[in-house]
Amino acid sequence: MKHYRGHYCRICGRIRPNERFSGRGHATHICKECQRKPREERDRIDLEYELERYLHQSHISDKNISRLASLAQHANPEIREMAALIRDIGLATPYRRRRFKRLAREHRDLLARYNARFGYMDDAMYEDNWLVIQDDGMEEEDWLAMLDESCIPDEMDEEDTEAMPDRELIDPFADA
């Protein structure tokens, strides 16, 4: 792992030199530039990051579900929608292993909501689920077709689907 000089700002996500942090900013990991942002914007960024981390946990616990339920009542509509979606995913599939496979098979509405909010799965999630799917004997084309069906809303016509960007998927078993 490469060691970087300076400090990480948790708001903008950059590694900044020490001079870009105030004395208080060092402890809170917020650079001077981000400290000038409105408090509501900094809180929104923190909450979005917190919500995204729930999907990468190995288990979304009951305590996490109660936190997500409280965030589902948040004043910001984006945070409220995101928290409600992740809470529903956590209730349907609390464990990360095979989460997206179960969503694709049993809870297509949740997978469609996830894809509408976050886009397609990232590479790590795809690889984790593809390894499990191969063990079950499902072909990659069937898996991708299942994902594609859940990603495209019914009310979209062919012109809209042609404008959708193609995605590159990683096959962990392909020869490099």
pLDDT at 23 over 90: no
Domain positions in the chain are: 1-37, 38-155
The residues, any chain, with a CB within 8 Å of residue 18's CB and separated by 6 or more, are 6, 7, 26
Query: Where do the H-state alpha helices sit in the chain?
Result: 23-28, 32-35, 39-54, 62-71, 77-92, 99-106, 108-118, 123-135, 140-151, 158-163
- What's the rounded Cα separation, in Å, for the pair 4 and 102? 39
Secondary structure letter of residue 138 according to DSSP: -
What pLDDT, on the 0 to 100 scale, is given for residue 160? 47
- Record the tokens describing residue 107, joined without a space: 């809870």
Could you report the per-residue pLDDT of 113-152, keeping only the tens digit for each?
Answer: 888 887 765 545 555 555 555 555 566 666 666 655 555 4
3-state class of 22 per DSSP?
coil
Least confident of 30-39, 54-63, 83-92, 95-104: 95-104
- What's the rounded Cα separation, in Å, for the pair 69 and 62? 10
Q: What are phi and psi of 122, to 5 degrees?
A: -80, 170
Tell me which of 166 and 33 has the higher pLDDT: 33
Cα first-last separation, the chain:
23
Task: Please give the average per-residue pLDDT across 11-21, as a whole number.
Answer: 87
pLDDT at 176 over 50: no
